[in-house]
Amino acid sequence: MTISVGELVRDIKPNRTVLFFGSGSSIPSHAPSVSELQKHFEAVFHVSASGYTLAEQTAIIEHRTRDRPRLIHELRSKFKGIAPTGALLNLPLYEWKSIFTTNYDTLIEDSYKRRSSPIYACSSNFDFGIKEDPRAVQLFKLHGTLEKDVCDGDRSRIILTSNDYDLAHEFREQLFDRFRADIAGCHLVIIGHSLADPDIKAVIDRALSIISKAGGGGRITAFIFTKDEGRATLFETRGLSVCFGGIDDFFAALTRLIVPVPATSMPASGDPLDLHPELRPTTLDVAHERTSASSNVAAMFNGWPASYADIAAGLTFSRNVASEIVEQFKTDDKSVAILLGPSGVGKTTAARQVLSGLVATGVFCWEHKEDHTVQSDAWRKLAAYLKASSVKGCLLIDDAHVELSEVNDLADYLASDKNTWLKLILVSSTSQWYPRIKTSSIHKLGKEYFLNRVRSVEIDRLLNLAENVPAVRALVEGNFAGFSRAERRQRLTQRCEADMFVCLKNIFSSDKLDDIILREYAGLPVPLQEIYKVVAAMEAAGVRVHRQLIIRMLGVPPMQTGGGYRTSFTNRLWTSGRVFMLGREGTRSLWASSRNISTIRKTNASICSAE
CA 16 to CA 98: how far, in whole Å?
9
More reliable by pLDDT, 454 or 313: 313
Residue 435, phi then psi, degrees to nearest 5:
-70, -15
pLDDT tier at 260, thresholds 50, 70, 90: low
CA 281 to CA 34: how far, in whole Å?
24
pLDDT tier at 484, thresholds 50, 70, 90: confident
Quote the pLDDT of residue 572. Answer: 31
CA 408 to CA 438: how far, in whole Å?
6
Quote the pLDDT of residue 595. Answer: 41
CA 50 to CA 133: how far, in whole Å?
46
Mean pLDDT check: name the lowest of 8-22, 175-189, 207-221, 336-350.
207-221
Mean pLDDT check: name the lowest of 224-228, 416-420, 556-560.
556-560
Give the type of residue at 502.
V
Quote the pLDDT of residue 611. Answer: 37
Quote the pLDDT of residue 281. Answer: 93
Catalogue all structural domains in the chain, each as residue range(s) with its CATH number: 5-29+85-257 (3.40.50), 32-78 (no CATH), 272-450 (3.40.50.300), 456-513 (no CATH), 524-603 (no CATH)
More reliable by pLDDT, 199 or 339: 339
From 364, 356, 354, 369, select the one nearest 279 (Cα to Cα).
Answer: 369
Averaged pLDDT, 134-154:
90
User: At residue 564, does pLDDT exceed 60?
Assistant: no
pTM strictly above 0.75: yes
Q: 146 near 101, Cβ under 8 Å?
A: no
Residue 221, beta-bridge partner list = 189, 241
pLDDT tier at 501, thresholds 50, 70, 90: low
Name the average pLDDT for the chain: 83
Q: 159 near 59, Cβ under 8 Å?
A: no
Neighbours of 566 (CB within 10 A): 15
Q: Which of 168-182, 249-263, 455-469 has the highest mean predicted lDDT (pLDDT)?
A: 455-469
Quote the pLDDT of residue 581. Answer: 35
Residue 352's contacts (CB-CB under 8 Å, 6 or more residues apart) are 286, 305, 306, 307, 308, 311, 367, 396
| % helix, strand, coil for the chain, step of 5 | 50, 15, 35
CA 516 to CA 529: how far, in whole Å?
15
CA 436 to CA 268: how far, in whole Å?
42
Mean pLDDT check: name the lowest of 280-294, 500-514, 532-546, 590-604.
590-604
User: At residue 446, does pLDDT exceed 70?
Assistant: yes
From 409, 424, 416, select the one nearest 338 (Cα to Cα).
Answer: 424
From 534, 542, 512, 556, select the one nearest 607 (Cα to Cα).
Answer: 534
User: At residue 400, does pLDDT exceed 90?
Assistant: yes
More reliable by pLDDT, 539 or 38: 38
Helix 173-183 vs helix 198-213: angle between axes, to the nearest 10 degrees?
A: 60
User: At residue 512, does pLDDT exceed 70?
Assistant: no
More reliable by pLDDT, 195 or 582: 195
Q: 271 near 364, Cβ under 8 Å?
A: yes
CA 203 to CA 190: how far, in whole Å?
8
Residue 532's contacts (CB-CB under 8 Å, 6 or more residues apart) are 521, 524, 590, 591, 592, 607
Mean pLDDT check: name the lowest of 130-139, 482-491, 513-522, 596-605.
596-605
User: At residue 338, does pLDDT exceed 90?
Assistant: yes
Neighbours of 523 (CB within 10 A): 16
Quote the pLDDT of residue 586. Answer: 32
Quote the pLDDT of residue 585. Answer: 31
pLDDT single digits (tens) 162-219: 998 887 766 667 788 888 899 988 999 999 999 988 888 988 998 988 888 876 678 9
CA 46 to CA 68: how far, in whole Å?
15
Averaged pLDDT, 445-454:
90
Quote the pLDDT of residue 23. Answer: 82
Burial of 35 (0-12, 13-18, 19+ CB in 10 A): exposed
Collapse the DSSP code of 100 into the 3-class scheme (helix H, G, I; strand E, B; otherwise coil) and give the result: strand
pLDDT single digits (tens) 268-303: 667 899 889 999 999 999 999 998 888 888 887 777
User: At residue 151, does pLDDT exceed 60?
Assistant: yes
pLDDT single digits (tens) 46-105: 999 999 999 999 999 999 999 999 999 999 999 998 999 988 999 999 999 999 999 999
